């Protein structure tokens, strides 16, 4: 099941993203909004820093604002 926010972007429900409570891990949610070129450049920069693989981000979705897209990343971090 997917939930849709106002701009029509499909987001999985929290239960699909969060795992059972584990005090050693936390799920972090990132979103990038901007021009397609700016978002792509930022995703590539985060990859160069070895933070996230470009394939880990959602596909760019329009936000409803002219020339603007959004991508989302859910990352599970060890605390």
pLDDT digits 0-9 by tens, 56-77: 999 999 999 999 999 999 988 8
- Round to whole Å and give the CA distance between 37 and 71: 12
The pLDDT of residue 8: 57
Structural domain spans, the chain:
3-78
Q: Which of 6-10, 31-35, 48-52, 72-76 has the lowest mean pLDDT?
A: 6-10
Comparison of pLDDT for 78 and 64, the residue scoring more: 64
Q: Which of 34-38, 42-46, 72-76 has the lowest mean pLDDT?
A: 72-76
């Amino acid at each position: 099941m997917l939930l849709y926010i106002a701009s029509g972007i499909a987001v999985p429900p929290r239960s699909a993203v969060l795992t059972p409570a584990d005090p050693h891990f936390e799920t972090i949610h990132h979103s990038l909004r901007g021009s397609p070129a700016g978002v792509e450049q930022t995703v590539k920069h985060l990859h160069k820093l070895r933070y996230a693989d470009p394939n880990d981000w959602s596909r760019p979705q329009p936000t409803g604002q002219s020339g603007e897209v959004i991508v989302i990343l859910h990352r599970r971090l060890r605390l």
